[in-house]
Amino acid sequence: MKREAHLSQELRDAVRSLDLASHPLGGTQAVVEAARRIFNLVCDVAERGDDLQALDGYGALIERLTDTTDPNSAEVLARACLNKGVLLGDRARTEEERAAYDVVIRVADRVHHRRIRQLAAVAHLNKGISLAAADVESGALEEFARARTLFEEFEDGDLGQARSRVNSAVLSERIGRQDDANNECREVLRRFADASNVLVQTEVAKALTIMAKCANDDEEAVSIYLQVVQRFGASRAPTLREVVAHALVSAAARTPYHEEALRLCHAVFERFTEPTNSIFIEAAARAMLIKAHRLVRLRRMLDAIATCRDMVARFERFDSPEVQRQVDAAKRMLSVAGLSPGLT
């Protein structure tokens, strides 16, 4: 059945044009042009946030191109499947998401073309991320390895390689395979430590934070976290600043020295004040809770109580689960002290 339930008139007309072009007398180039027009229209729809129409639009396009062997049409098919998979993942329709990525991979196996293989590499990476989120660890690691192998074929595959390795390292650390995680991170550093691309630099920074998390010794871990701050702390790139914020907070949590922890917490407060960035808000909330705990260890109880009250007042309004977890912990600290957040 043709998938046109949510399509605008413009998209319906474009789909009919593709149907006409697909007639034996239409010609391959006419099919490619009609397919690309639909793809571009659906991308515009997706950017406007109309997911249902976008999913139907990609579905209509995929249905009509599913058996194509023409490389140009196959590329449009692969891009449509990849975009559809991302949309389905955003809507937590994970089985359908992974099925869309599988179509991309099958198209690359059937139609040997450089650009389609690049899309298949992205599909493997995205499928791995989806499987990792579903705790299908072995399958996820296999997908990351396949993605990495494909990305290595391309001169412009550095970012894909780095992301594949970093995602593999994150998962390996999570399931207790620290040696594997460290090996992946070292390879990222070996290959990309001097990269100029900000997004690749972000993956290098993430690799360092994973190595710090894997470190058995607290001082070694803190040293690695501070390497991240030293190397990337001056960057204004949002992706790098988020990793730096994470590194500072993690160093504050891990250091065995209470005064150093307080200095690191204050560095978080000074550097990351944007009220609309959820990563920075979570970092600041976590830093305040760490500060309160360290003040208790230093027997500065009045300062610890004031910090908890300040934290509740600042962050209780945010609906982030992570921020609320920190706020609830601060309230428990006040409760243990026999106080409430609003008492003076």
Summarize pLDDT for 217-230 with one digit per residue, the tens: 999 999 999 999 99
Domains held by the chain: number: 2
Question: Is position 288 within any domain?
Answer: yes
**Do 10 and 142 belong to one domain?**
yes
Residue finishing a domain among 154, 172, 200? 154
Residues 6+ apart with CB under 8 A from 297: 258
Predicted confidence (pLDDT) at residue 2 exceeds the cutoff of 60? no
Residue finishing a domain among 108, 134, 154? 154
CATH at residue 138: 1.25.40.10
Find, among 270, 236, 235, 230, the residue nearest to 251 by Cα.
230
Q: How far apart are CA 267 and CA 229, in angstroms?
A: 11
Q: What is the pLDDT of residues 147-200, one digit of tens each?
A: 999 999 998 999 999 999 999 999 999 999 999 999 999 999 999 999 999 999
Mean pLDDT, residues 333-339 taken together: 79
Residues 6+ apart with CB under 8 A from 122: 82, 104, 147, 160
Question: Is position 310 within any domain?
Answer: yes
Question: Is position 58 within any domain?
Answer: yes
Q: How far apart are CA 205 and CA 156, in angstroms?
A: 20
Predicted confidence (pLDDT) at residue 54 exceeds the cutoff of 90? yes
User: Quick one: pLDDT band at residue 25, thresholds 50, 70, 90?
Assistant: low
What is the chain's mean pLDDT, rounded? Answer: 93
**Do 150 and 277 belong to one domain?**
no
**Do 143 and 267 belong to one domain?**
no
Question: Is position 57 within any domain?
Answer: yes
Question: Is position 201 within any domain?
Answer: no
User: DSSP string covering 230-260, please?
Assistant: HHHTT---HHHHHHHHHHHHHHHHH-S-HHH
Model pTM score: 0.89
Residues 6+ apart with CB under 8 A from 81: 58, 62, 100, 101, 103, 104, 107, 123
User: Quick one: pLDDT band at residue 28, thresholds 50, 70, 90?
Assistant: confident
Question: Is position 72 within any domain?
Answer: yes
Range of the domain at 305: 257-344
Question: How many CB atoms are located within 10 Å of the residue 82 CB?
Answer: 21
Please give the pLDDT value at position 78. 97
**Do 134 and 19 belong to one domain?**
yes
Residue finishing a domain among 106, 130, 154? 154
**Do 138 and 274 belong to one domain?**
no
Six-digit token string for 160? 């894909």
**Do 265 and 120 belong to one domain?**
no
Please give the pLDDT value at position 343. 45
Q: How far apart are CA 75 and CA 50, in angstroms?
A: 24
User: Quick one: pLDDT band at residue 338, thresholds 50, 70, 90?
Assistant: low
**Do 138 and 269 belong to one domain?**
no
Predicted confidence (pLDDT) at residue 4 exceeds the cutoff of 80? no
**Do 3 and 144 belong to one domain?**
yes
Which of 27-36, 80-89, 136-145, 318-327 bottoms out in mean pLDDT, i.e. has the lowest?
27-36
**Do 139 and 278 belong to one domain?**
no
Q: How far apart are CA 62 and CA 38, in angstroms?
A: 11
Q: Is 188 exposed, middle or buried (0-12, 13-18, 19+ CB in 10 A)?
A: buried
**Do 5 and 150 belong to one domain?**
yes
Residues 6+ apart with CB under 8 A from 162: 188, 191, 192, 195, 200, 203, 204, 207
Question: Is position 304 within any domain?
Answer: yes
Question: Is position 182 within any domain?
Answer: no
Q: What is the pLDDT of residues 257-274, one digit of tens each?
A: 999 999 999 999 999 978
